[in-house]
Every structure is written in structure tokens, then in C-alpha cells.
Amino acid sequence: MKYKRILLKLSGESLMGGKQYGIDEKRLGEYAEQIKDAALTGVQIGIVIGGGNIFRGLSGASNGFDRVKGDQMGMLATVINSLALSSALTSIGQKNRVFTAVRMEPVGEFYSKWKAIEAMENGEIAMISCGTGNPFFTTDTGSALRGIEIEADALFKGTRVDGIYTADPEKDPSATKFDDISFDEIYRRGLKVMDLTATTLCKENNLPVVVFDMDTYGNLKKVIGGEPIGTLVHL
């Protein structure tokens, strides 16, 4: 097996599926089944989910919300998404545990590296919510930080696009895909893979990033097995 432990980053928007807002139960169920299938291969999985399907702090700030309070609202949105995925995983028999970076027992356990690793070593999926627990940091940065902390072999960024392209393939039909790319080239080309803080954290701590299409059923298990779908970002 190529990976022993991974951190899977899912966007909140992807949970909307065909809806304009909130959580699409069909998409949630498909994600849960993909995650369970991947876990059955023996890989340990930590998960960070964004909250953009419910509330995004940055757009809230532009609409008059205090930025810190807006980001805190976004953190709570990630908890809602984590609880939803936790419930979907439990319903199909996959053990999991929800951690929060801000204290809110009994909603979830207060996050620590050691408790998250212990859960994963016991065969549980570690759902790590609230981002970093601080305002002004995105869930991309939260996933990079948690991936490094839990000593993951790679950060898997599940998106609706099948990798990194020279330009946005949804807007530019001539865009070409990278099979692999260095962190330095991402900086040089100004590609929007993750925000700069997250990209720098991964580069400085040598955490490879795999960007792949999570919405195609079965892709998670394939990419964890080392199949060359998606794009690998490395030093």
C-alpha cells in the first residue's frame, strides 16, 4: 500500500451536490461509502471539511460581519458538516470520532494530535473540525496543519476537478493538466491550488499534496492505491 495515513480535505461546497445551499444527502452518502471503502484497505484517515456550503467568513466580512466573528461562524459550519459526515459514516458501520479545535463538548472531543492518532490507529476516521481554531486561517491551512501534526504521508484535496491545470478548465478549454508539479512552480505560475499559507506549510514540512476529483465515485480508493489520477504536488 502506497500510504499508511492520509489527511483528506473536502470542500464544504462539494457537500451541496445539486443543491444551492446546505447538504445534499445523496452526495453525503456517496462520500461516506467512498471513505469506508478506502478505510477497508487499511489506510488511516483524518478528515478536514470546509464550511462554505453554510457560511464563509471572508464573504461574511464583505457583507458587514466582523471578520473574527465571521470566521468563527465559518468554524461552526465545519462542525455541522463534520457531524453530518460522521452520522453518514456511522449509519453504514464505519467507526469515527469528531474532534473540534474549539472546546464544545459534548458536540465533539477537544482536538489533540495524540487523541486523533489514537483514534486512527483504532480504525476510526478522525473528523477534525473548526479549522485551526483561529480566525484569518482557511480550512486549507487547517488541513495542512493537521496533516503535518498527525504525521500523514500526504494531504489529499478532494475537489470537483480531476487535478491541477495551467488555467481553470471550466473557463479555459485549452487548459492542460499537470500529472505532477512542484510547490515552487505553483508559486511561479500563481496557480490557485490552496491559499499561500497552506501551500507554504506543506512545502516547508515536505507534505505532498494530491489534488483529485472526489465527485467521481471510487476515485478516493484509486488515488490512495497509487493510481495516477489527479495531480501530485511535491518539493
Q: What is the pLDDT of residue 58?
A: 76
Q: How far apart are the C-alpha atoms of 41 and 218, rounded to whole Å?
A: 13
Work out the average pLDDT over 123-137.
Answer: 97
Residue 73, helix vs strand vs coil: helix
Q: Which CATH number fits domain 5-234: 1.10.3720.10, 3.40.1160.10, 3.40.190.10, 3.40.50.10490?
A: 3.40.1160.10
Residue 176 or 60, more confident: 176
Q: Which residues pair with 5 in a beta bridge?
A: 44
List, for residues 71-82, the tens digit of each pLDDT value: 999 999 999 999
Q: Where are the domains of the chain?
A: 5-234
Q: How far apart are the C-alpha atoms of 192 and 67, rounded to whole Å?
A: 22
Q: How far apart are the C-alpha atoms of 70 and 72, rounded to whole Å?
A: 5
Answer yes or no: is pLDDT of 1 > 70.
no
- Asked if residues 121 and 110 have their Cβ atoms less than 8 Å apart, the reply is no
H helices within the chain, ranges in order?
Answer: 25-39, 57-62, 67-91, 113-121, 139-149, 183-189, 196-204, 219-224
